[in-house]
Structure 1
Amino acid sequence: MATYQFKLPDIGEGIAEAEIVAWHVKVGDRVEEDQQLADMMTDKATVEMESPVAGTVKSLAGEVGDQVAIGSVLVEIETDADVGADTPIASQEGTETRFDGERVDSVAMGDGAVAPTPAQEEALPALTVAEASAPSERQAQPEVEARSPVQPAEERPSTALGTSETHAHVLASPAVRQRARDLGIDLAQVRTASDRVRHSDLDAYLLYNGGQLSTRGAAPRQDEQIKVVGLRRKIAENMQEAKRRIPHFALVEEFDVTALEDARAMMNRDRGSNPKLTLLPFLITALTRALAEWPMINATYDDEANVVTRHGAVHMGMAAQTPSGLMVPVIRNAERLSIWQLASEIARLSDAAKTGKATREELSGPTFTISSLGPMGGIASTPVISPPQVATIAVNKVEEKVVPLNGELEIRKRMNLSLSCDHRVVDGWDAASFLQALRPLIENPLRLLA
């Protein structure tokens, strides 16, 4: 027997430590060679750690959320024979892994059903017999015993508005009765101009008495504590730093995208093997051309050295929602790509981000960022700039509006773009001019295709 120390390798240039975001083994588990041990995060890239040897897990470096230094022991594995790699060591005293216990607890809590104990099973029939016992006078009336007894009116449970059960003599349709039960309304308390309670009568009752109704909302949830680790912690740290250091200002402008949507629909009809086009490739093309005219917006700011770098190439950050949180893969040299090439790159990077396969280089170095929530994009937004960038833009939803055009009213498709800028570097006039430079490109898509 020998103890193999698996040390955290150098998984990124310039990285001093990595965060444990998931364990795939626990102390006492048998592992095989190349079996996944843990997921480690550096910046926004997650790297899978695999076992170089077979054996039994002896100890783990820490819990989810802990930072582990490069070169320190991540996992100790007791091997069946001397593997001749790292030096065998004795067991470390005081080492404890609580993550194992937490996993067991979470599994135990995952199923809401709890099996009764033998004592409970024995008590249950006894309770049923006790409840079924009836007074002697009822034994002489078997037909009455078969029915549920009717409570006297003064004993019925009631709310501030009356009982929750409707009176049988009140005339109402089954749908009205069901709605009254759902709302906790006693139909006997509802006034009506006819001999039958209708939905309109319930509406009037709710209008004047709704504040007194008993609550029948969703079942209450228990409080839960969620440890902020991994990508969510990186997002929190980055957003806090961005808002602390950058004086943001936002500018929102409305654009007519009727012609652009028509052009997109036409191109999608004849796209062949090309990916389906969204608005994003068109907007990125327009942005790259406008950024060439306004380079102070396609820039990064080193506020410690007081140096602004205006970039010639546009490395377009593309905010993407993933199961783990927001990630920003980067389209390199976006100004060189056609609309179809941009569509392919958007699809590829989005898939890589969502599946956790995006590389470190694909998640670093944007000079400008665009984010879009599609039809959920809201009317306007104030996107947060990620330093050292000095600007970011958000795409809001497309809406049909009645607008005056050439002296007549027409229904047009309109969309807002929300631009946030770093006021230390970008002036309001620059931001407004940049948005106006986008207008002829977005509203006349032939300029984008030329």
Structure 2
Amino acid sequence: MAKVFEFALPDLGEGLTEAEIVRWMVSVGDVVAVDQPVVEVETAKAMVEVPCPYAGVVTARFGEEGSELPVGAPLLTVAVGASPEDVARDSAGERAAPGVNGTGSGGSSSGRTENGASASGERGGAAETSGNVLVGYGTGAAPARRRRVRPPGVGAAGTTTGSTRAAASAPPSAPVAPASAPAGSASAAPARDAEGPVPVISPLVRRLAKEHGLDLRELKGSGADGLILRADVEYAVRAAERAAEQETAREEASRTAAGQTRTPLRGVRGAVADKLSRSRREIPDATCWVDADATELMNARKTMNSNAAAGDKISVLALLARICTAALARYPELNATVDTEAREIVRLDAVHLGFAAQTERGLVVPVVRDAHARSAESLSAESARLTEAARTGTLTPAELTGGTFTLNNYGVFGVDGSTPIINHPEAAMLGVGRIVPKPWVYQGELAIRQVVQLSLTFDHRVCDGGTAGGFLRYVADCVEQPALLLRTL
């Protein structure tokens, strides 16, 4: 006897409470293995592929692409120990009218619950399941049913109230009605006689209608002699959702027509907005900057890479990261955070170096763990790996959090200088402009040198200008004379 397990959206860590479904990777009827990715979701921090903890056949999906689900909401159900043929046979048996969701008086039929799981719809109800397990999948199983979770976005009156789609993925047993219902389908009909009987046999159908706030007297059944089936109720729910979606689309269109285009602040863009706003509210920041001759640094990089194997090139970002870790060893006050509740400055031992990366989904800050213990070669390899993951949207929440200091190379955008906003709750950020040929006084003579502007934005609560200036000056000295780094190797 197979068992049907419900797999809910797991806790993705870092305080995340919801996720948006980006792409389903399986369909109803597919066979899945343990730890096989089944859906790709987007959180406020990253794109994540969610693996399924069960092996079996997918019997239902919940939520369509583009909808948001809270942590703990059902994602899909999996029949463990069943074959695709079992699932198809069970679905076909339920679609056979009038034995769907109830037979004649005293009869019973084995089919799926409203979430696509197996159930035996005996008159008078069925035994509750425990936990996430639905026992008794398949024809002839003991009566069982599962807890019904009202699809998100469906209000008490049966209309959608949010962006989430309740009937995103119809259970395999539910016949999907066309956009315009044919005669005799479950479309809204004139109200029935308030005192007359309602042609419904299945308690399951009655409960489903009640949970969605539907009046069965306003539905026209598609079964024999006007019998209202589960498919009729589901079609009515979908019709209400489509109407709500169309209304939402009309509202969005009216906003654009008025000369405005509104984009919701959610996902990565929303997370960036929240963090930057909090940084401005809480951190009294100040910025200092200096121009530096980067000619020798670029020459040193050229020498390193001329002797390196193909694919092992050291990036400018990696050299700057190595300089940052050396500077933080001298000025550890800047590798810190402020505990506002305790009114304490918390100095951190390890340097977890974040670097700003622009992607199609917005600005993200991957973090190189234990950067202080890495060589320039290791920093280059790890930053390259994280940059590629950022571009493909596969960074994990752990790779986007926990930074203690951030390096922002805005020179890649072709600008010389900037005043960065500190990546809360860190204490400082080093900004690096583009490296370009400029006139420069070198050894007492005017020469063309590779010049870069460096800027440091720091939390004035953790240090004063002397410390910040000393840090920035040391960074500039290392850029101009890379040999200074030999003292820290």
Superposition deviation, residue 234 in structure 1:
1.2
8 Å Cα contact 2:5-2:133 kept in structure 1: yes
Residue segments in structure 1 that go unaligned for 5+ positions in a row: 104-219
Larger Rg: 1
Equivalent residue, structure 1, for 2:366: 329
Q: In structure 2, what is the Cα distance between the partners aligned to 1:254 and 1:243?
A: 26
In the alignment, which residue of structure 1 is the partner of 2:475? Answer: 438
Residue 20 of structure 1 corresponds to which residue in structure 2?
Answer: 20
Q: CA 1:2 to 1:223, structure 2 compared with 1: closer, same or farther past 3 Å?
A: farther
The answer to whether the Cα contact below 8 Å between 1:21 and 1:230 also exists between their aligned partners in 2 is no
Deviation at 1:377, TM superposition (A): 4.4
What residue number does 1:72 align with?
A: 73
| 1:318–1:328 CA contact under 8 A, matched in 2 | yes
Structure 1 residue 291: deviation in Å? 1.2
The answer to whether the aligner puts 1:5 opposite 2:6 as a matched pair is yes
Change in CA separation of 1:48 and 1:25 when aligned onto 2, cut-off 3 Å: closer
Deviations, residues 340-382 of structure 1 (Å, cap 9, x unaligned): 2221121122122222333333222111110113442412111
> Aligned residue for 1:33?
32
Instruction: Tell which deviates more after alignment, 92-101 or 352-361.
Output: 92-101
User: What residue number does 1:185 align with?
Assistant: none
Distance 1:58 1:407 in 2: 73
Q: Is the 8 A contact 1:390 1:426 kept in 2?
A: no
The answer to whether the Cα contact below 8 Å between 1:391 and 1:420 also exists between their aligned partners in 2 is yes
> CA–CA distance in 2 between the matches of 1:91 and 1:428?
61
1:296 aligned counterpart, secondary structure: helix
Contact 1:259 1:445 in 2 (8 A): yes
Say whether residues 1:234 and 2:267 are aligned partners: no
- For the Cα contact (< 8 Å) 2:44–2:270, is it kept in 1? no
Pick from 338, 352, 356: which aligns with 2:389? 352
Measure how far apart 1:339 and its partner are: 1.6
Identity fraction in percent: 33
Q: What code does the residue aligned with 1:6 have?
A: F
Matches of 1:3 and 1:68, distance apart in 2: 22
Counterparts of 1:340 and 1:277, CA distance in 2: 6
Q: Which residue of 2 aligns with 1:368?
A: 405
1:61-87 Cα distance to aligned partner (Å, 9 max, x none): x88464503x33344679926779533
Q: Deviations over 1:113-147 (max 9, x none)?
A: xxxxxxxxxxxxxxxxxxxxxxxxxxxxxxxxxxx
Alpha-carbon distance change, 58 to 406 in structure 1, aligned in 2, over 3 angstroms: closer
What's 2:297 paired with?
A: 260
Kept after mapping to 1: 8 A contact 2:290/2:476? no
Range with greater deviation from structure 2 (411-420 or 2-11): 2-11
Alignment partners' CA distance in 2, 1:47 and 1:340: 28
Name the aligned partner's letter for residue 33 of structure 1: V
- How big is each residue's C-alpha offset from its partner over 1:154-209, in whole Å with a ceiling of 9 and x where there is no partner? xxxxxxxxxxxxxxxxxxxxxxxxxxxxxxxxxxxxxxxxxxxxxxxxxxxxxxxx
Q: Answer whether contact 2:43 2:268 (CA < 8 A) is retained.
A: no
SS at match of 1:378: coil
SS in 1 for 2:406: strand
Report matched runs for 1:166-181 at 5 Å: none
CA contact (8 A) 1:400 1:413 kept: yes
If the length of structure 2 is used for normalisation, what is the TM-score?
A: 0.59
- Code of the residue aligned with 1:86 in structure 2: it is V
Distance, in Å, in 2 between the alignment partners of 1:374 and 1:300 is 27
Aligned residue identity for 1:345:
E
Which of 333, 340, 351 is equivalent to 1:303? 340
* Alignment correspondent of 2:231: none
- What is the letter of the counterpart of residue 442 of structure 2? L
Do the aligned partners of 2:455 and 2:472 also contact (CA within 8 Å) in 1?
no
- Pick one of 217, 220, 244 that aligns with 2:281: 244
Question: Is 1:292–1:312's contact at 8 Å kept on the other side of the alignment?
Answer: no
1:89 to 141, 146, 155: 146
Q: Indicate yes or no: 2:453 matched with 1:413.
A: no
Aligned residues: 331
Tell whether the 8 Å contact from 1:59 to 1:77 is kept in structure 2 after alignment.
Answer: no
Paired AA for residue 239 in structure 1: L
8 Å Cα contact 1:64/1:229 also seen in 2: no
Letter in 2 for 1:10: D
Q: Is the 8 A contact 2:68 2:164 kept in 1?
A: no
Corresponding residue to 1:399 among 406, 412, 436: 436
Q: TM-score, normalised by structure 1?
A: 0.64
Task: Write out aligned runs for 1:147-158 (5 A).
Answer: none
Report the counterpart of residue 283 of structure 1 in structure 2.
Answer: 320
- CA-CA distance at 1:324 after TM superposition: 2.0
* Residue matched to 2:57: 54
Contact 1:375 1:398 in 2 (8 A): no
Residues 1:383 and 2:386 are matched in the alignment: no
Q: Is the 8 A contact 2:3 2:133 kept in 1?
A: no
TM-aligned CA deviation for residue 32 of structure 1: 4.4
What is the distance in 2 between the residues matched to 1:245 and 1:301?
10
RMSD over equivalenced CA pairs, Å: 3.6
TM superposition shift of 1:290: 1.4
Q: CA deviation at 1:420?
A: 0.8
Contact 1:20–1:67 under 8 Å retained in 2: yes
Shift of 1:436: 1.3
Change beyond 3 A, Cα 1:380–1:373: closer
